[in-house]
Amino acid sequence: MRLTTLCYIQRDGQWLMMNRMKKRVDENAGKWIGVGGHLEAGECPEECIAREVREETGLQLKNARLRGIITFILPDWGDEMTFLYTGEAEGEAREDCPEGILRWVPVDEVDSLPLWEGDRVFLPLLRTREDCFSLKLTYAPGGALTGCMLDGRDITKETLGESK
Q: Taking the model in full, what pTM does it have?
A: 0.91
How large is the average pLDDT for residues 108-128? 95
pLDDT of residue 83: 98
Q: Compute CA 87 distance to the chain's CA centroid, rounded to the nearest angstrom.
A: 13
Tell me how many domains the chain contains: 1
Q: What is the CATH number of the domain that holds 18?
A: 3.90.79.10
* Average pLDDT score, the chain: 91
Strand 60-73 with 80-90, pairing: antiparallel
More confidently predicted of 108 and 164: 108
Structural domain range at position 106:
2-160
Q: Compute CA 38 distance to the chain's CA centroid, rounded to the nearest angstrom.
A: 12
Confidence check: pLDDT of 163 > 50: no
Cα-based distances in Å from 79 to 2, 106, 115:
6, 30, 19
- Reduced to 3 states (helix: H, G, I; strand: E, B; else coil), residue 32 is strand
Segment 69-84, tens digit of pLDDT = 999 999 888 899 999 9
What are the DSSP calls for 65-90, one per residue? EEEEEEEEE-TTT--EEEEEEEEEEE
